[in-house]
Structure 1
Amino acid sequence: MSLSTGFLPEPAKHPPAGFSRLCNVIDAAASPPATSVPVSFLGMVTRLSVPVREANGDFALEFTVQDQFDSPGSESSICCKVSRNELNKLPTIRAVGDFVLIYNFNVIAGQPPTAVSTRAEPGSRVLSFSRSTIPQPEFSQSIQGAGSKLPYVTLDAGPHPTTEQQMAIVYMKQAAASFVPPKSTRPNMPTTQKKQKLCELKDMELSKYYDLIGEVVKTFAANYETFDLYVTDYTTNNDLFLYEERDDTDDFMFGAQKKWPGPFGRMTMAIRLYEPHASFARNNVREGDFVYLQNIHSKLSQVGNLEGAIHQDRKYLDRVNIRICTHPDQIASIKERKEAYEQPAFGSTVNQNQPKKASAKAAAKKKEEKRERQRLQKELEQQELEKKAEELDAAKAGLNPHIRAGNTDKRISNITEIVHNPHLTTETEIGNLSLPFVNCKYRARVRVVDMWPRKLFDFARSLSDPKYGKQGLSADHRESYRKEVFQWNFALLVENADAPAGKTPDRLMLTVGDEQGQCLLKMDACDLRQSPEKRKRLEEKLFILWGNLRERKIALLKEGIHLPLPTGDSRLQLQNKPFDCCIEEFGEPVGKNLGNPKSWVRRHTLFNTTIMD
């Protein structure tokens, strides 16, 4: 089996409707007479400057966008400049390497030209997409078919990007996969203006609005609508909650409850985020990140301590008031205070804390070993709890708990969606083009309703067998296999787990090659005719997968009845459970002229799916 991308469309080379290639934008700006017509474009951010204060009092942010990566040059990138009257109204671009959709910027002719947006141009917008949240094309089916949205950040009002625009971002990331952008600085937040609300925790008071730069020490997803950040800047405010350090004896009292990571004392503020801030933080902020939080409303918690909240902006509904800080100047003072906090208390030394007598050293070592045993025991208990939770979820859905599939964050596709993938037809300049296959990966919930070959010992084939290896091995190569080498080679016919009885639904043939078979069975292929023990082991494994399917197929063949039968046919008396699996679609060449779609056959195979012992 071979994978191919030869017949994938190339959306990265064709911008969405209403958008322009940068080479065309630059050519238009250089061609006399140059006209100032708003243009829209997309690309990757290759340079990101620090926001500056201009002479007229406005704040300006400059960044460079590029949309060609095979032969990049000045004709494939353009400098963009955004000016606003307030710092927090500038676009939120997290880092170099992220991708942007630019709407209605004016291009100023020059050497080189510049795309600009001022506060006098309300129609211009910048949508920023974090590189880490953009999927590979083969995992973008939910965006294309189910109406899901790529996570993005914008401070400007306007409609969501279209599916075509989102897919252009997906393919642009794929096109830029091997491109390494130059190093650049990150935005730094000016703090010299008196009107700035930037404040340290120690100076915060009740019922006011503040900006804060701090380290995220803990995150908590209370529900789908909010997200909690626990942020510290290592300053003390007596109105904050008191986090006290517990010793090992507390673990016995409180069980396996996760310890507070620190800092201890009144140095951390709990901040509840509402949409759209919650979605951004859930997807982009991790424990240990330094963040710049804007417009925090300080208030009292239920237990009377100072806490914060960031609500949705009433005027700019999509504005996100969170930025990731990486510039040294932004976080230098916080790191200094953190280092001071982590230093040993005054007057204490390492030697003072070390046991002086041999008996004390032995007792300390024994205590440390006990702690390690307790830690390992807790890890094992946690793993067991997670395993039971997975089994419980599978049991609730009626799934086979002994079959595990990866990519659990991907949505379930049904067989009809896979068989009739709308992307098998694509639009070109000369009309619609039917593709022989698309390179896609899916996650599906299926049941096995037939299998090939009928005899188990034919599930593994020898490379020296000309009926099996003739396409992949020449006669000379087959002769060189003095010691026979076997590979898994069988097929499963599957249908949707919830297929209605009495009908013949869409079904999918899944071929299983050697690598896929090793993953599925956790067994190496061998001569099953000469290995009755392994053949027995294989039979037990496959019984977990398809239940009594093989026994019923043999019995029905004796009656002259051939599978597959309609779903729920009483003659089959099938007893097996559905399971989740990962499916990969690819093209297999069957002709010499690979430029001809008829020279390819559409195939599907299992991957990342395992029968557990």
Structure 2
Amino acid sequence: MALPIGFTDLQTANSAPPGTILNIIGVVVDFLPPTVNRAGQWQTTVRLQDLKFQNSIYGAKGLGVRFFRPRELDMPEVHDTGDIVLIRSVKMNSFNGQVFAISTFNTVDVVFPYPAIPSPEFAITYSGGKKMQCRGTPASINSVSGPEQQYVIGLKTAMSQVIPRPKYDVSLKVGDDRSKLEKGRSTKKLQRICELEDRRFADICGEVIKKFPKQYSDCELYITDYTENKAMFHYCPPEDLDNNDDTRRDGDKYGYSETAKREWPGPFGYRCLKVNIKDPHATFVNQRVKEGDFVLLQNVKIKLRDGYDKLEGDMWPDMMYPTKVQVQFMGKHDTTELKELRERKELYWAQRQAEKERLANAKAPLSKGAKKKRRQQVKLAEEQAARAAAGDPMDTAEDSIVPDADHINPHVRCSNDIQSNTPLASILDAEGTRRHTNETPDGRSYILPFINAKYRTRVRVIEYFPPEIEDFAVAVEGDEDDSLHEYPPSTTQWEWSFSLQLEAAAGGAQSNTSSTWVNVSHQEAQHLLGTSFEHEPCDLRRNPRVLRKLAEKLEILWGDLEERRKAGDTDKPANVPFDCYLLEYGLLKDDGDERRLEDWQRQYMLHGVTIL
């Protein structure tokens, strides 16, 4: 099947030098709805595929084509996967190693809807001057030649077995009634999570489990109706997690990346669907929807997440009704669906509680990790007993902290309450004899500058840095994924970045003697502020409202610390201790040699704690 004269196949286009102007034709394998970027332009991205490109090592996801137009009505009218797009005068470009094509002022596009492309036996009808049904400007449609139409018909036939597409009746001819085209679709729109399938649209009634506001007013919503779908992500219950089993968790093997499994409140298993939401729906969700609400999400596009093969949903603007919000509360309507959902919820949590009680009473064999931890605890106890017998009290009292819920901040929550607390002095290990001593096979001992570890401890905030909260957000260079959505790329973004000085909670041998500085990264700061904090990091000196909200939120954590510092009072603040995680890691000094132990500096990162 030869390309029309003047056109380039997608594999060759993908290898073309940046700036090359080409004509291309391809089948739509994915696309984004048109949106307005920060420059005020309308933009969309379409991924195209053809026979040659799909078999290349770079063609798995297709070639991305980005259109930038001043008006929405000028955007290419791609309605679904399987449509074929003919594009003239598109310019090849690359950014951070990713190749894509972008539209120019001279770019012309024509979209051939999948159901309107005839079968090969009717191809001769369009070899002359007769035009196939297509979408575009009158001039662009008139420019389509007979050979180009023949290629479109052949490409649809050749790719029909490998490109996901709607369940249209392919035998329909141009001019058939639209209602006939819809007969191939499922007529059941309201579906339970267990019924969801890839490449389908559905209305979903569910309970909101988690909500994560994102940049540009977008939002991630996690909902459940307490039915299971094994094509979705699996959330492991806490009792099934093994710290030494790297295959059962996401992120790095040292546990720096807190996974959803470890913080997930439930339900567990294959019961929760992630939905990516854009405006106008996202603004409504961010401002009004709370965790625990029962909502109806309409017209959710179900798809497999790239790289994970797990189902998730998308809610984008309706192209015909761009301002219509398709999220509704169900709490005020005693519908059949809501009654069934609440019954399933009650049954699930009753079964879950019974299972937890069974596990608590059962004497199950210990895992390897648990056995190792038990041996370490026994060894430490023997050492302490020996020191006590020798008249050296050491820090025996320090090594046990009995959690007292009456003396911790009730408005600050630490994830994973299964793990016991470790005293801060023991974590810091100032002498390097408790945790950081390593021994070589030949018996030579030395002290490690740091170890990759995660601890849970009880602390209070006694200082912060930078000295002014206005500097808690910093400008950074934009990352690759965000920059690729705009042309020209935007480079300046804002992220949270600050440090806290933590002191061990009063009591025992560690009273007011152990303290350390911990870093708070952008990701951990977002987790610390929680989903109720609706503001993204920004220039706080120019946004007094966000600054005020941030100060009010942090006051819950550190009490009157800011008030004292502004008044010049250097005394310790009045606040309540809280439980949190500390991640220990190493930072190479400036101009340091990574092979030299003395060139590494021990650091700690705040982790796994949220202000409610």
Structure with higher RCO (Cα < 8 A, 6+ apart): 1
User: Where on the TM-score scale, by shorter chain, does this alignment land: which range?
Assistant: 0.3 to 0.5
Query: What's the TM-score once normalised by structure 1's chain length?
Result: 0.32
TM-score by length of 2: 0.32
